[in-house]
Amino acid sequence: MERGVHDRGGWATQAPIDRSEHELADWELLTDALVGVLGHAGLMNVDELRRGIESMPPEEYERASYYERWLFSIETVLTEKGVLAAGELDARLGK
């Protein structure tokens, strides 16, 4: 049966599991806080967060870090809801 890229249990791999920890950067802490605020504001729930992460193109999912996936999902869901305009974040960041 076809499985999503996130549906990981039992995937055969020879690659070692990276168990290293890292100090969280400011943007990662802010991303975590942002999801909490969006939940309190009723703008986005944790299931929408998960769904947004699972909708990532598989190659991008593999490349992205934990909180990069969160950011992808936040932008996806908030753009769907019209809270963000398409391309608004990139425009503000001057990309």
Within 31-70, the residues that bind other proteins by CB under 8 A are 45, 47-48, 50-51, 54
Q: Which one of 24, 27, 63, 81 is in contact with other proteins (CB under 8 A)?
A: 81
Do residues 84 and 52 touch, judged by C-beta distance below 8 A? no
- What is each CA distance from 52 to 38, 63, 67, 73, in whole angstroms? 14, 16, 13, 4
Neighbours of 24 (CB within 10 A): 13
* Min separation Cβ 26 and other proteins, Å: 29
Do residues 77 and 50 touch, judged by C-beta distance below 8 A? no
> Whose Cβ is closer to other proteins: residue 12's or residue 93's?
12
Do residues 39 and 46 touch, judged by C-beta distance below 8 A? yes
Binding piece for other proteins, criterion CB under 8 A, among 7-15, 27-35, 56-64, 82-90: 7-15
Is 10 a residue that touches other proteins (CB under 8 A)? Answer: yes
Residues that bind other proteins (CB under 8 A): 1-3, 7, 9-10, 45, 47-48, 50-51, 54, 81
